């Protein structure tokens, strides 16, 4: 009788092994910063479901808006007519986008679908075939987006042939160049822009290149904010060659970095902005924004889909934007970010376990901790890790220690980086609790 089988065992039996899973917990309820399992375990969630529930799990105003929409209209098919709730959402969304020229949108369901929509638009608008992606990038697991992902080979492995016409350039990140953590930013920017120019000389000619796509804070690739000078440099080279600049803010958008979108900080205008995850706090909604001039180059009928901008998800998203304003969410991001950076820097400087930390970086509540055990020219593990007597790959061990203490924390796809990505509504006390658990976990690993 399947009703008697433990839910996790049933899941293991009947859900594809192709889904990698951090834990065997069965999530049943969640509120704010906590998730409760079917066994009654209360977990402190520092993942926000990978940057999705930015307003905390089941924010009452978002849930209420979605519930109300459920008894109004749930499916307003965009290839058949306009959706009233989608239009109401667009009115709230346009003013918070990073540039007034981004005045035309298209909604989809997932981040990967939105990335594909951006590539379709770039190709249709420029009539050029190729795209350039960043080393370390993550754009999704569909065929086209797996082709564009450069954080880990598993996303494309054994799923080929992948989409052709994708070329790779460097993201300004010291460990990507095998350089020390204190390498000056100007040097990293100089090297990366040089690599970009070489990409256009050696891999894909400007006349064949539709777009370059960048995560303004690289996500799965290690939580590294792109320096503003790099974004300005890319913009300039793109303008010289008629190449579009696409910002994938699927993970860094919707308040995550302390601004609604990280690219605002640099003042650089992307030609296409991609958003998803945080926009609807857990309901499937994604999309792209661009200029009317570019968007209208697409032939009627070429875009759309059954659930493109689903009505319930749009109602949730509209409530999300209102909550950002009503509850001063960005003020909390600034305060909690200061608290988290303060804690991590103190830990790094003043405790033996903290000496395992090589680099702390990020913006707002998108914070990465790089441990020292990464591949270098000299070999595998470095001095700090060796001194502490630990094995390579500290991050996954810290994640496991946090789990033992009922806290969910994620690593990233690249070597030995942990990411802090809590709900933006996390309280001072909850973050203090999380920091305490992190410290204990790191100490357990350093032993």
Output the six-digit token pair for 63.
Answer: 């849930």
Is there binding between residue 112 and ligand PMP (CB under 6 A)?
A: yes
Using the rule CB under 6 A, give the single segment among 104-112, 173-181, 304-312, 321-329 that binds ligand PMP: 104-112
Tell me the C-alpha to C-alpha distance, in Å, between residue 131 and each of 105, 171, 232: 21, 15, 19
Residue nearest to ligand PMP (CB): 111
Candidates 25, 59, 128, 139; binder of ligand PMP (CB under 6 A) is 139
C-alpha span between 332 and 319 (Å, rounded): 18
C-alpha span between 142 and 149 (Å, rounded): 10
Q: Which is nearer to ligand PMP, 250 or 320 (CB)?
A: 250
SS3 172: coil
Least Å distance between CB 279 and ligand PMP? 11
Is there binding between residue 50 and ligand PMP (CB under 6 A)?
A: yes
Using the rule CB under 6 A, give the single segment among 96-104, 224-232, 247-255, 432-440 that binds ligand PMP: 247-255
DSSP-derived secondary structure for 339-354? HHHHHHHHHHHH-TGG
SS3 197: helix
C-alpha span between 150 and 173 (Å, rounded): 14
The DSSP element (H or E) to which 133 belongs, if any, is strand 130-134
**CA dihedral sign, ordered 322, 283, 294, 268:** positive
Using the rule CB under 6 A, give the single segment among 95-103, 133-141, 341-349, 406-414 that binds ligand PMP: 133-141
State the residue for tokens 């796809």.
413
* Closest residue by Cα to residue 141 from 124, 121, 162: 162
Is there binding between residue 243 and ligand PMP (CB under 6 A)?
A: no
Output the six-digit token pair for 266.
Answer: 């640099």
C-alpha span between 227 and 247 (Å, rounded): 14
Candidates 131, 200, 213, 250; binder of ligand PMP (CB under 6 A) is 250
Q: Which is nearer to ligand PMP, 276 or 313 (CB)?
A: 276
Is there binding between residue 215 and ligand PMP (CB under 6 A)?
A: yes
Using the rule CB under 6 A, give the single segment among 29-37, 70-78, 107-115, 191-199 that binds ligand PMP: 107-115
Is there binding between residue 251 and ligand PMP (CB under 6 A)?
A: yes
Is there binding between residue 248 and ligand PMP (CB under 6 A)?
A: yes
Candidates 46, 276, 319, 418; binder of ligand PMP (CB under 6 A) is 276
Is there binding between residue 138 and ligand PMP (CB under 6 A)?
A: yes
Using the rule CB under 6 A, give the single segment among 7-15, 22-30, 105-113, 304-312 that binds ligand PMP: 105-113
Is there binding between residue 397 and ligand PMP (CB under 6 A)?
A: no
The DSSP element (H or E) to which 288 belongs, if any, is strand 286-290
Interaction site with ligand PMP (CB under 6 A): 50, 110-112, 115, 138-140, 215, 219-220, 248, 250-251, 276
């Amino acid at each position: 009788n399947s009703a008697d089988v433990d839910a996790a065992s049933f899941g293991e039996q009947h859900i594809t092994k192709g889904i990698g899973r951090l834990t065997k917990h069965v999530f049943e309820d969640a509120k704010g910063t906590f998730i409760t399992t079917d066994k009654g375990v209360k977990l402190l969630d520092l993942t926000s479901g990978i940057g999705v529930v930015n307003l905390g799990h089941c924010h009452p105003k978002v849930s209420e808006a979605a519930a109300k929409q459920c008894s109004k209209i749930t499916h307003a098919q965009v290839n058949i007519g306009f959706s009233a709730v989608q239009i109401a959402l667009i009115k709230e969304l346009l003013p918070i986008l990073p540039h007034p020229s981004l005045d035309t949108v298209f909604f989809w369901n997932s981040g990967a679908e939105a990335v594909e929509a951006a590539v379709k638009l770039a190709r249709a608008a420029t009539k050029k075939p190729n795209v350039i992606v960043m080393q370390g990038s993550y754009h999704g697991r569909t065929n086209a987006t797996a082709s564009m992902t450069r954080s880990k080979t598993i996303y494309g492995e054994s799923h080929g042939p992948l989409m052709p016409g994708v070329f790779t350039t460097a993201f300004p990140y010291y460990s990507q160049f095998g350089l020390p953590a204190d390498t000056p930013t100007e040097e990293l920017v100089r090297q990366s822009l040089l690599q970009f120019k070489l990409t256009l000389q050696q891999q894909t000619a400007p006349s064949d290149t539709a777009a370059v796509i960048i995560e303004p804070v690289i996500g799965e690739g290690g939580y590294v904010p792109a320096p503003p000078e790099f974004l300005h440099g890319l913009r300039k080279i793109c303008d010289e060659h008629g190449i579009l600049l696409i910002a994938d803010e699927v993970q860094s958008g919707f308040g995550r970095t302390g601004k609604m979108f990280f690219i605002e900080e640099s003042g650089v205008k992307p030609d296409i902005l991609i958003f998803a995850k945080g926009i609807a706090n857990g309901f499937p909604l994604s999309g792209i924004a661009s200029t009317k001039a570019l968007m209208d180059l697409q032939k009627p009928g070429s875009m759309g889909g059954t659930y493109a901008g689903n009505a319930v998800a749009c109602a949730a998203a509209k409530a999300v934007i209102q909550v950002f304003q009503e509850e001063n969410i960005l003020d909390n991001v600034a305060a909690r970010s200061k608290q988290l950076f303060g804690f991590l820097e103190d830990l790094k400087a003043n405790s033996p376990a903290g000496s395992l930390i090589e680099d702390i970086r990020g913006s707002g509540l998108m914070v990465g901790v790089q441990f020292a055990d990464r591949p270098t020219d000299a070999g595998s593990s470095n001095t700090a890790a060796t001194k502490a007597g630990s094995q390579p790959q500290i991050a996954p061990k810290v994640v496991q220690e946090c789990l033992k203490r009922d806290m969910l924390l994620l690593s990233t796809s690249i070597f030995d980086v942990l990411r802090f990505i809590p709900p933006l509504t996390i309280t001072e006390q909850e973050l203090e609790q999380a920091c305490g658990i992190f410290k204990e976990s790191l100490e357990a690993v350093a032993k």
